[in-house]
């Protein structure tokens, strides 16, 4: 079976128009963020990653194999506006104006209503939404001046099919998708495209996708996806191959969202 899925490994560069452009990826130290960083570095982009875990950021930076001076890692708590401002200053002064901003960072806390605290609620929305608008607010002006740019958000299937428990994660991601559409309309006249990617069950590596979930009845393709597959969609959304695509949410989920119920269960 693994041999049949060789197409899931990272591919060489597909989009020459991305070469030398600057991309900022939040939550780039691990998981989907790391996968996106690896793919965009392979496309020849200048990659900046941020996150709370310094050790993970340094590890990812070492994996990028980017030319000297073409990548950086900067610790940042996106819930704090002053740190967001500092992050953008470092990126612009080191790599240049941001051409694309992938907002992937998220506070992964799933809490039911009875156990919810205001602190957890506020922190989740701060990372997903307040950071999203702060980042967009700072990267948009130079994008407007150049009349090009892309801002993909990494969302979740939880905006349409809730997790249990799903608060406050699903609510914050739903707000983020609404922000995606609002920003797409506002920034569209400047040729800045704003979209979202909604991943399903994702494993970091090919082995995880092929050995752990082949028999899963919950995913029509009978496996998890890989970070490389999410990253491939991110690269497409940044490239001019998606030049007429904005305000959309693309599900990368193996068909999970299309399925009403698992096989054998009739609703």
Q: Which residues are catalytic?
A: 169
Q: What residues contact residue 122 under an 8 Å CB cut-off, 6+ apart?
A: none
Long-range CB pairs of 49-52 (<8 Å, 24+ gap) are 49/24, 49/25, 49/73, 49/74, 50/24, 50/25, 50/26, 50/74, 50/75, 50/76, 50/78, 50/87, 50/105, 51/26, 51/27, 51/75, 51/76, 51/105, 52/76, 52/77
- For the record, the structure tokens of 114 come out as 């009875």
Tell me how many degrees the CA angle 154-142-238 measures, rounded to the nearest 5.
35
Cβ–Cβ < 8 Å for 259, 210: no
Phi, psi angles (nearest 5°) of residue 223: -165, 165
Tell me how many degrees the CA angle 144-37-163 measures, rounded to the nearest 5.
95
Q: How far apart are CA 56 and CA 73, in angstroms?
A: 10
Q: How far apart are CA 55 and CA 75, in angstroms?
A: 10
The 3-state DSSP class for residue 33 equals helix
Q: What residues contact residue 127 under an 8 Å CB cut-off, 6+ apart?
A: 78, 79, 105, 106, 107, 172
Q: Beta-carbon neighbour count of residue 69 at 10 Å?
A: 9
């Amino acid at each position: 079976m693994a041999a049949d899925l060789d197409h899931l490994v990272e591919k060489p560069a597909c989009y020459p128009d991305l070469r030398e452009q600057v991309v900022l990826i939040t939550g780039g130290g691990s998981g989907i963020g790391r996968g996106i960083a690896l793919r965009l570095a392979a496309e020849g982009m200048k990659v900046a990653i941020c996150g709370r875990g310094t050790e993970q950021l340094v590890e990812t930076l070492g994996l990028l194999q980017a030319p000297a001076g073409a990548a950086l890692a900067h610790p940042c708590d996106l819930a704090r506006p002053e740190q967001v401002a500092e992050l953008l200053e470092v990126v612009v002064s080191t790599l240049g104006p941001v051409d694309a901003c992938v907002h992937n960072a998220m506070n992964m806390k799933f809490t039911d209503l009875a156990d919810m605290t205001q602190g957890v609620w506020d922190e989740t929305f701060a990372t997903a939404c307040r950071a999203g608008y702060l980042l967009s607010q700072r990267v948009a002006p130079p994008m407007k001046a150049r009349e090009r740019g892309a801002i993909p958000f990494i969302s979740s299937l939880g905006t349409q099919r809730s997790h249990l428990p799903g608060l406050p994660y699903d609510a914050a991601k739903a707000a983020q998708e609404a922000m995606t559409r609002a920003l797409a309309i506002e920034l569209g006249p400047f040729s800045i495209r704003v979209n979202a990617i909604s991943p399903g069950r994702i494993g970091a590596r090919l082995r995880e996708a092929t050995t752990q979930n082949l028999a899963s009845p919950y995913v029509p393709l009978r496996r998890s996806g890989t970070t490389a597959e999410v990253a491939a969609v991110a690269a497409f959304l940044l490239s001019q191959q998606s030049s007429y695509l904005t305000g959309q949410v693309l599900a990368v989920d193996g068909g999970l969202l299309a399925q009403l119920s698992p096989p054998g269960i009739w609703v």
